[in-house]
């Protein structure tokens, strides 16, 4: 079918429109101008200087897999930051101010984990919980092996702690029980501080752990541990400070109240967990007194350690690795602390 009309004249050759090239050329002018301006902005006056980085786009979104407050490798590069600078800064932070003879301005000596307490029978009371060891200690052998003054002599800053025969570490155990304990004490209105909450690369050292409790003016401090004795040795025991007056250590004022705290914690731990007192320390009482522990020697507030069981014994291991039993352990310690503070 053919069509002849006012807009079609077969007798004349078709004419090529020049409107499209003109339109394209007009569109290219601002683009070229923008390219020239970018070139000028990123080169020196003569175009011979090294190129300068342009700022990253503000519309770039954070990598959802990157933890809050940190940068992914791509965001570090786009902002002009050398990732190796961040690594060097992290290494420096790992080495600086992490325990030992820190001064009063060292942020590492400030208690962590505190928050406003709720109303309850322990309102106004301050409890410091000391989760033994640190999950990262094994990566910092030189730091934790450094000797610190404990009053009677000098000892290692800290140790890695023990573990079960199947690899469950004491450091993980102590943090879990400590966090459960904090929740229970908060419900009763206590203000709770931690010596560490898995929020530092290593430590703190034993002398700093004592300072944290002292600076908090704690009404009670409990250091949570699990033992690493031989198979067949079972049960818990609470360690109380003996009388020490040597160098920077003077436990004269805390021996009495610490003994009462220890007895209450031991008794409530027994009733809450059903575990028997140690069959290898304390003569069946679940109580022990020592003068060789820096965390006790340097304390100026009532303080005890509790060894919740023996990680190297298979039967105790079954308890220590049970979340339900760890909740009972926290409950027993909480009741012992509460009984001491309400006396």
Active-site positions read: 307
Reading the block at residue 108, the tokens are: 């590492």
Cis omega (within 30 of 0) for bond into 204: yes
In three-state secondary structure terms, 134 is: coil
Give CA separation, 112 vs 4, 107, 131, 211, 300, in Å. 90, 10, 12, 13, 19
Nearest alpha-carbon partner for 219 in 129, 107, 296, 138? 129
Structure tokens at 319: 């308890």
Instruction: Give percent helix, percent strand, percent coil of the chain, each to the nearest 5.
Output: 40, 15, 45
Reported as half-sphere exposure (CB side, CA atoms, 13 A), residue 301 has a value of: 21
State residue 339 phi and psi, 5-degree precision. Answer: -60, -40
Longest dimension (CA), the chain: 122
Helices (H) and strands (E) in the chain, counts: 10, 10
């Amino acid at each position: 079918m053919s069509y002849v009309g006012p807009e079609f004249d077969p007798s004349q050759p078709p004419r090529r429109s020049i409107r499209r090239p003109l339109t394209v050329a007009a569109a290219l002018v601002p683009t070229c101008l923008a390219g020239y301006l970018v070139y000028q902005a990123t080169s020196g006056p003569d175009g011979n200087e090294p190129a300068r980085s342009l700022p990253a786009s503000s519309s770039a979104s954070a990598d959802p897999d990157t933890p809050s407050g940190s940068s992914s490798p791509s965001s570090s590069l786009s902002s002009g930051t050398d990732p190796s600078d961040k690594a060097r800064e992290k290494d420096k932070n790992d080495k600086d101010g992490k325990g030992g003879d820190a001064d009063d301005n060292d942020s590492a000596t400030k208690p962590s984990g505190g928050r406003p307490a709720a109303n309850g029978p322990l309102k106004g009371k301050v409890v410091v919980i000391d989760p033994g060891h640190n999950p990262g200690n094994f990566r910092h052998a030189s730091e934790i092996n450094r000797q610190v003054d404990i009053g009677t002599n000098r000892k290692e800053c800290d140790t890695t702690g023990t573990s079960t025969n199947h690899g469950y570490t004491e450091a993980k155990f102590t943090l879990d029980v400590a966090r459960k304990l904090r929740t229970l004490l908060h419900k009763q209105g206590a203000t709770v501080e931690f010596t560490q909450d898995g929020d530092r690369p290593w430590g703190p050292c034993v002398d700093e752990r004592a300072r944290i409790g002292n600076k908090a003016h704690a009404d009670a401090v409990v250091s949570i541990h699990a033992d690493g004795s031989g198979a067949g040795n079972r049960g818990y025991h609470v360690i109380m400070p003996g009388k020490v007056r040597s160098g920077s250590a003077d436990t004269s004022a805390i021996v009495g109240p610490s003994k009462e705290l220890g007895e209450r914690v031991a008794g409530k731990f027994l009733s809450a967990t059903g575990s028997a007192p140690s069959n290898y320390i304390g003569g069946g009482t679940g109580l022990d007194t020592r003068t060789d522990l820096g965390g006790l020697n340097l304390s100026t507030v009532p303080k005890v350690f509790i060894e919740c069981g023996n990680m190297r014994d298979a039967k105790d291991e079954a308890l220590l690795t049970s979340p339900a039993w760890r909740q009972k352990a926290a409950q027993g310690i909480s009741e012992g602390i509460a009984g001491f503070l309400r006396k």
